[in-house]
Amino acid sequence: MTQYKIALLPGDGIGEEIMAEAVKILQLVDSRHDDVSFDLTPAPFGASAWFSHGSCWPEETQTLCDGADAILKGTIGLSHAESKKIPSDQSAEKGLLAMRRRYDTYANFRPVFLPGSLGHFSPLKPEIIGDGIDILIIRELVGGLYFGEKEAGINAEGLRYAREQLDYDENQIRRIVEVAFQAAMKRRRKLHSVHKSNVLKSSVLWTEIVEEVAPEYPEVEVHHVLVDAAATYLCLKPTDFDVMVMENLFGDILSDQAGGILGSLGLMPSACVGPEKSYYEPSHGSAPDIAGQNIANPYSMIGSVAMMLEMSFGMTKEAENLWQAMQGVFAAGYSTPDLSRPGAGVTLVGTDEFGDRVAEALDGMPA
């Protein structure tokens, strides 16, 4: 029997209610597999933790995460007014960046997936969606502008200024590019490297490294695409993409755009993978405006569980079952109000009922 310790960090806003659905699924998976058991321990994290514990990533939570086999994180951030009460250098976002740095979670996987049958969720026309969208965005997560030196102050002319540094060395680039090629080999063997080498030296180096790694993967078709052009193609021809790899800030922006073409970030789970530890989280925010109303869709949260089962625990088959269970609930015509436009012909259910239906579907499949 293998026991996995999972730190649960529900966070703020809708985090608590979507985490409850993830826990439901984890307990079910546990009961379906005699050889695996999950030790689930919740801990405070995010803006709410700052108010209750004086830190967005309190020490007790760090200790729990240090000892965990994987971390499952909900969402962070309170309303603008509440967030403003927290000193900016101690914000929930800073806590998250500290976690990324501590566990060196350099590889961020954001699957952008919408089967043709769920095309009604997307703002794109059916002819653009075709048989469906299936992209894997791989974002470098611990380098670039996010982690470079920063300063702000008054310059010699008496003007307020800010400066931040964008650093990448070849090893940082090579390791994420390798991850992307390996992912492409498991998929449709097409890789788009996103860059801005007409302006940025860091992108010139990025592209050089991609070219150096490419001969190790002769079966992968490599395309270099400027980040601004990539934004356009994502809207016009999303089905052209398979795996996309990019640096941190480009990945932040394009992955949100990709959520937009699906219709919602509520349809985008993610994995943040480090050499020893990984954490899993929905790509969306804490949606304080709909928190506590039982209307947020737990798809991204449960999808993050599926990614954890596969990537941290090697439970590939069960992860596939879980994806299928979730798609099945949508395909049967159920959705939550946050995702669905009026008149889309879906039966609206609450967060908890959506989770129950996924659990029921999963339970009906051979483990």
Residues with active-site annotation: 146, 196, 228, 252, 256
> In 10 A of CB 285, how many CB atoms?
16
* Positions 254 through 313 that interact with ligand IPM (CB under 6 A): none
Which listed option, ligand IPM, Mg ion, none, makes contact with residue 96 (CB within 5 to 8 Å by class)? ligand IPM
Closest contact distance (angstroms) between CB of 331 and ligand IPM is: 28
Closest contact distance (angstroms) between CB of 51 and ligand IPM is: 18
Q: Which is nearer to ligand IPM, 76 or 220 (CB)?
A: 76
Which listed option, Mg ion, ligand IPM, none, makes contact with residue 82 (CB within 5 to 8 Å by class)? none
Which listed option, Mg ion, ligand IPM, none, makes contact with residue 221 (CB within 5 to 8 Å by class)? none
Closest contact distance (angstroms) between CB of 256 and Mg ion is: 5
Pick the closest to residue 18 from 67, 26, 98, 61 (CA basis). Answer: 26
Which single residue brings its beta carbon nearest to ligand IPM? 93
SS3 labels along the chain: CEEEEEEEEEECCCHHHHHHHHHHHHHHHHHHCCCEEEEEEECCCCHHHHHHHCCCCCHHHHHHHHHCCEEEEEECCCCHHHHCCCCHHHCHHHHHHHHHHHCCCCEEEEEEEEEHHHHHHCCCCHHHHCCEEEEEEEEECCCHHHCCCEEEEECCCCCEEEEECCCCCHHHHHHHHHHHHHHHHHCCCEEEEEECCCCCHHHHHHHHHHHHHHHHCCCCEEEEEEHHHHHHHHHHCHHHCCEEEECHHHHHHHHHHHHHHHCCHHHCEEEEECCCCEEEEECCCCCHHHCCCCCCCCHHHHHHHHHHHHHCCCCHHHHHHHHHHHHHHHHCCEECCCCCCCCCCCEECCHHHHHHHHHHHHHCCCC
Closest contact distance (angstroms) between CB of 32 and ligand IPM is: 31
CB 269 within 8 A of CB 307: yes
Closest contact distance (angstroms) between CB of 184 and ligand IPM is: 22
Q: How many residues bind ligand IPM (CB under 6 A)?
A: 3
Q: Which is nearer to Mg ion, 29 or 272 (CB)?
A: 272
| Site mask for ligand IPM (CB under 6 A), range 127-166, x = bound | ----------------------------------------
Among 134, 252, 352, 363, binds ligand IPM (CB under 6 A): 252
CB 41 within 8 A of CB 64: yes
Which listed option, ligand IPM, Mg ion, none, makes contact with residue 320 (CB within 5 to 8 Å by class)? none
Binding flag, residue 96, ligand IPM (CB under 6 A): yes
Q: Which is nearer to ligand IPM, 46 or 263 (CB)?
A: 46
| Site mask for Mg ion (CB under 5 A), range 224-263, x = bound | ----------------------------x-----------
| Site mask for Mg ion (CB under 5 A), range 286-325, x = bound | ----------------------------------------
Closest contact distance (angstroms) between CB of 318 and ligand IPM is: 26
Would you tell me which residues interact with Mg ion (CB under 5 A)?
252
Would you tell me which residues interact with ligand IPM (CB under 6 A)?
93, 96, 252
